[in-house]
Amino acid sequence: MRSQATFVVALVVSAGLSVQLMARKPVSSTPVTSTIVDNASYQIGSDGLGPYKNGSSVRSLILANGDYQLGGFYVSGATRMVYLNFNNPIAGTGPGGGAPVAPPGGLYNVNIASDCALIGLSYLKVAPGSTIQCGMNVHFAYGGQTYDLHQAPQLFPETNRVNITCTSAVGAPCSAWTVQPSAASGYDVANLSIEQTVKGKLTYVKQGDFLVSFLIYITNP
Protein backbone atom coordinates (compact mmCIF):
# COMPACT_ATOMS: atom_id res chain seq x y z
CA MET A 1 0.00 0.00 0.00
CA ARG A 2 1.54 3.32 -1.02
CA SER A 3 1.79 5.88 1.80
CA GLN A 4 1.48 9.68 1.72
CA ALA A 5 3.95 12.24 3.02
CA THR A 6 4.56 15.95 2.95
CA PHE A 7 7.30 17.91 1.31
CA VAL A 8 9.28 21.12 1.74
CA VAL A 9 11.32 23.07 -0.77
CA ALA A 10 12.96 26.47 -0.71
CA LEU A 11 12.19 29.16 -3.31
CA VAL A 12 14.88 31.68 -4.17
CA VAL A 13 13.82 34.91 -5.90
CA SER A 14 16.30 37.33 -7.42
CA ALA A 15 15.80 40.87 -8.72
CA GLY A 16 17.82 43.67 -10.29
CA LEU A 17 15.74 45.08 -13.14
CA SER A 18 16.68 48.23 -15.00
CA VAL A 19 14.04 50.86 -15.81
CA GLN A 20 13.93 49.51 -19.37
CA LEU A 21 13.29 45.93 -18.24
CA MET A 22 10.68 47.04 -15.73
CA ALA A 23 8.72 48.63 -18.57
CA ARG A 24 8.45 45.33 -20.41
CA LYS A 25 5.63 42.87 -19.91
CA PRO A 26 6.79 40.05 -17.54
CA VAL A 27 7.45 36.68 -19.17
CA SER A 28 5.03 34.09 -17.84
CA SER A 29 5.79 30.49 -17.00
CA THR A 30 4.43 27.89 -19.40
CA PRO A 31 1.87 25.36 -18.10
CA VAL A 32 2.68 21.88 -19.39
CA THR A 33 1.28 18.37 -19.06
CA SER A 34 3.60 15.87 -17.36
CA THR A 35 3.21 12.11 -17.64
CA ILE A 36 5.33 9.95 -15.33
CA VAL A 37 5.62 6.43 -16.71
CA ASP A 38 5.02 3.59 -14.25
CA ASN A 39 7.34 0.62 -14.49
CA ALA A 40 8.26 -1.95 -11.86
CA SER A 41 11.95 -1.16 -12.41
CA TYR A 42 11.54 2.62 -11.95
CA GLN A 43 12.23 4.45 -8.68
CA ILE A 44 10.15 7.52 -9.61
CA GLY A 45 6.57 6.82 -10.67
CA SER A 46 3.11 8.34 -10.83
CA ASP A 47 0.26 8.22 -8.33
CA GLY A 48 -1.84 6.31 -10.86
CA LEU A 49 -4.24 9.19 -11.48
CA GLY A 50 -3.14 10.03 -15.01
CA PRO A 51 -1.17 12.98 -16.44
CA TYR A 52 -0.24 15.90 -14.20
CA LYS A 53 -1.82 19.05 -15.61
CA ASN A 54 -0.97 22.41 -14.09
CA GLY A 55 -3.88 23.61 -11.97
CA SER A 56 -5.49 23.53 -8.55
CA SER A 57 -4.05 20.15 -7.51
CA VAL A 58 -0.49 20.27 -8.82
CA ARG A 59 2.10 22.54 -10.40
CA SER A 60 3.46 21.43 -13.79
CA LEU A 61 5.44 24.26 -15.37
CA ILE A 62 8.37 25.27 -17.49
CA LEU A 63 9.53 28.47 -15.84
CA ALA A 64 10.43 31.64 -17.68
CA ASN A 65 14.15 30.91 -17.15
CA GLY A 66 13.80 27.50 -18.83
CA ASP A 67 13.70 25.32 -15.69
CA TYR A 68 11.04 22.63 -15.10
CA GLN A 69 8.96 22.07 -11.97
CA LEU A 70 6.45 19.38 -11.07
CA GLY A 71 4.77 18.89 -7.71
CA GLY A 72 2.15 19.93 -5.20
CA PHE A 73 4.10 21.58 -2.43
CA TYR A 74 3.36 25.14 -3.53
CA VAL A 75 -0.30 24.34 -4.16
CA SER A 76 -2.65 24.72 -1.20
CA GLY A 77 -4.68 21.54 -0.76
CA ALA A 78 -2.67 19.65 -3.39
CA THR A 79 -3.97 16.16 -4.09
CA ARG A 80 -1.47 14.82 -6.63
CA MET A 81 1.48 12.77 -5.39
CA VAL A 82 4.55 11.07 -6.85
CA TYR A 83 5.74 7.55 -6.02
CA LEU A 84 9.32 7.21 -4.78
CA ASN A 85 11.23 3.99 -4.12
CA PHE A 86 14.72 3.58 -2.67
CA ASN A 87 15.23 -0.09 -3.47
CA ASN A 88 18.60 0.30 -5.25
CA PRO A 89 21.05 1.53 -2.58
CA ILE A 90 24.76 1.67 -3.35
CA ALA A 91 26.66 -0.21 -0.64
CA GLY A 92 29.04 1.73 1.56
CA THR A 93 27.66 5.19 0.70
CA GLY A 94 25.57 5.68 3.84
CA PRO A 95 26.42 7.51 7.08
CA GLY A 96 29.94 6.70 8.25
CA GLY A 97 30.54 4.61 5.13
CA GLY A 98 27.83 2.15 6.10
CA ALA A 99 24.60 1.07 4.45
CA PRO A 100 22.41 3.83 2.95
CA VAL A 101 19.24 4.68 4.88
CA ALA A 102 16.02 5.98 3.37
CA PRO A 103 12.29 6.40 4.01
CA PRO A 104 9.98 3.61 2.82
CA GLY A 105 8.76 3.54 -0.75
CA GLY A 106 5.42 5.28 -1.15
CA LEU A 107 3.48 8.29 -2.34
CA TYR A 108 4.97 11.65 -1.43
CA ASN A 109 3.98 15.27 -1.98
CA VAL A 110 7.08 16.46 -3.83
CA ASN A 111 8.62 19.16 -5.90
CA ILE A 112 10.64 17.85 -8.83
CA ALA A 113 12.90 20.63 -10.08
CA SER A 114 15.11 20.33 -13.14
CA ASP A 115 17.37 23.36 -13.05
CA CYS A 116 18.90 24.10 -16.44
CA ALA A 117 19.43 27.84 -15.98
CA LEU A 118 22.18 27.17 -13.43
CA ILE A 119 24.39 25.90 -16.24
CA GLY A 120 23.13 28.25 -18.97
CA LEU A 121 20.64 25.86 -20.59
CA SER A 122 16.86 25.90 -21.03
CA TYR A 123 14.04 23.48 -21.75
CA LEU A 124 12.60 26.18 -24.01
CA LYS A 125 15.72 26.33 -26.18
CA VAL A 126 16.37 22.65 -26.84
CA ALA A 127 16.47 22.11 -30.59
CA PRO A 128 14.05 19.49 -31.96
CA GLY A 129 15.77 16.11 -31.97
CA SER A 130 18.52 17.32 -29.63
CA THR A 131 19.36 16.36 -26.05
CA ILE A 132 20.75 18.47 -23.23
CA GLN A 133 21.76 17.43 -19.71
CA CYS A 134 20.60 19.29 -16.60
CA GLY A 135 20.37 18.55 -12.91
CA MET A 136 17.23 17.28 -11.19
CA ASN A 137 16.19 17.35 -7.56
CA VAL A 138 13.25 15.77 -5.73
CA HIS A 139 12.22 17.45 -2.45
CA PHE A 140 9.96 15.62 -0.02
CA ALA A 141 9.49 15.05 3.71
CA TYR A 142 9.07 12.04 5.95
CA GLY A 143 9.04 11.56 9.71
CA GLY A 144 9.60 15.24 10.46
CA GLN A 145 12.67 15.45 8.20
CA THR A 146 13.02 17.18 4.84
CA TYR A 147 14.84 15.15 2.19
CA ASP A 148 16.44 15.96 -1.15
CA LEU A 149 17.19 13.39 -3.84
CA HIS A 150 19.94 15.20 -5.73
CA GLN A 151 21.18 14.69 -9.25
CA ALA A 152 23.56 17.64 -9.34
CA PRO A 153 27.24 16.88 -10.09
CA GLN A 154 28.25 20.47 -9.31
CA LEU A 155 27.36 19.77 -5.65
CA PHE A 156 27.52 15.96 -5.51
CA PRO A 157 30.19 14.76 -7.99
CA GLU A 158 29.13 11.12 -7.84
CA THR A 159 25.67 11.89 -9.28
CA ASN A 160 24.43 12.12 -12.87
CA ARG A 161 22.53 14.84 -14.67
CA VAL A 162 19.38 13.81 -16.55
CA ASN A 163 18.84 13.70 -20.32
CA ILE A 164 16.25 16.15 -21.67
CA THR A 165 15.34 15.45 -25.29
CA CYS A 166 13.11 17.61 -27.50
CA THR A 167 10.78 15.27 -29.40
CA SER A 168 9.00 17.99 -31.41
CA ALA A 169 9.07 18.02 -35.19
CA VAL A 170 12.27 19.31 -36.75
CA GLY A 171 12.06 23.01 -37.54
CA ALA A 172 9.43 23.80 -34.89
CA PRO A 173 9.98 25.36 -31.46
CA CYS A 174 10.18 22.64 -28.85
CA SER A 175 6.80 21.71 -27.37
CA ALA A 176 7.45 18.11 -26.25
CA TRP A 177 10.23 16.64 -24.13
CA THR A 178 11.35 13.41 -22.49
CA VAL A 179 13.28 13.37 -19.21
CA GLN A 180 15.21 10.21 -18.34
CA PRO A 181 18.54 9.01 -16.91
CA SER A 182 21.71 9.97 -18.76
CA ALA A 183 23.74 6.95 -17.60
CA ALA A 184 24.24 4.26 -20.24
CA SER A 185 22.91 1.66 -17.79
CA GLY A 186 19.56 3.47 -17.57
CA TYR A 187 20.10 4.05 -13.84
CA ASP A 188 21.49 7.36 -12.63
CA VAL A 189 23.27 7.83 -9.31
CA ALA A 190 21.34 10.14 -6.96
CA ASN A 191 22.38 11.47 -3.56
CA LEU A 192 19.76 11.27 -0.79
CA SER A 193 20.31 13.84 1.96
CA ILE A 194 18.43 15.38 4.87
CA GLU A 195 18.19 19.17 4.88
CA GLN A 196 19.34 20.89 8.06
CA THR A 197 19.82 24.55 8.93
CA VAL A 198 22.86 25.18 11.10
CA LYS A 199 23.44 28.78 12.28
CA GLY A 200 21.20 30.03 9.51
CA LYS A 201 22.99 28.06 6.78
CA LEU A 202 21.35 25.26 4.82
CA THR A 203 23.37 22.05 4.98
CA TYR A 204 22.85 18.50 3.73
CA VAL A 205 23.43 15.34 5.76
CA LYS A 206 24.06 12.48 3.37
CA GLN A 207 21.98 9.34 3.86
CA GLY A 208 23.44 7.46 0.91
CA ASP A 209 23.60 7.13 -2.86
CA PHE A 210 20.90 5.29 -4.79
CA LEU A 211 20.43 4.13 -8.38
CA VAL A 212 17.29 5.65 -9.87
CA SER A 213 15.45 5.17 -13.14
CA PHE A 214 12.41 7.03 -14.48
CA LEU A 215 10.74 8.36 -17.61
CA ILE A 216 8.78 11.59 -17.79
CA TYR A 217 6.96 12.89 -20.87
CA ILE A 218 6.24 16.63 -21.02
CA THR A 219 4.00 18.32 -23.57
CA ASN A 220 2.84 21.89 -24.21
CA PRO A 221 -0.06 22.10 -23.61
pLDDT of residue 172: 82
Distance from C-alpha of 187 to C-alpha of 180, rounded to nearest angstrom? 9
pLDDT digits (tens, 9 = 90+) for 81-130: 999 999 999 999 999 999 999 999 999 999 999 999 999 999 999 999 99
Q: Give the pLDDT score at 6.
A: 34
Q: Is the pLDDT of residue 18 over 50?
A: no
Residue 98 CA: distances (Å) to CA of 89, 150, 200, 213: 11, 19, 29, 23
Share of the chain above pLDDT 70, in %: 88
Least confident of 26-30, 84-88, 194-198: 26-30
What is the identity of the amino acid at 217? Y
Res 67 pLDDT > 70: yes
Please give the DSSP secondary-structure letter assigned to residue 25: P
CA distances from 204 to 1, 3, 156 (A): 30, 25, 11
Q: Domain ranges in the chain?
A: 29-89+103-140+154-187+212-219
CA distances from 185 to 24, 84, 190, 191 (A): 46, 20, 14, 17
Global pTM? 0.86
Going from the C-alpha of 138 to that of each of 3, 25, 44, 82, 192, the distances in angstroms are 17, 32, 10, 10, 9
Query: For residue 21, what pLDDT is reported?
Result: 27
Q: What is the DSSP string of 73-121?
A: TTSTT----EEE----BPTT-SGGGS----PPSEEE--EEEE--GGGT-
What pLDDT sits at residue 22? 30
Give the pLDDT confidence score for residue 27 in this predicted structure: 55
* pLDDT tens, position by position, 130-152: 999 999 999 999 999 999 999 99
Contacts for 157 with CB less than 8 Å, ≥ 6 apart: none
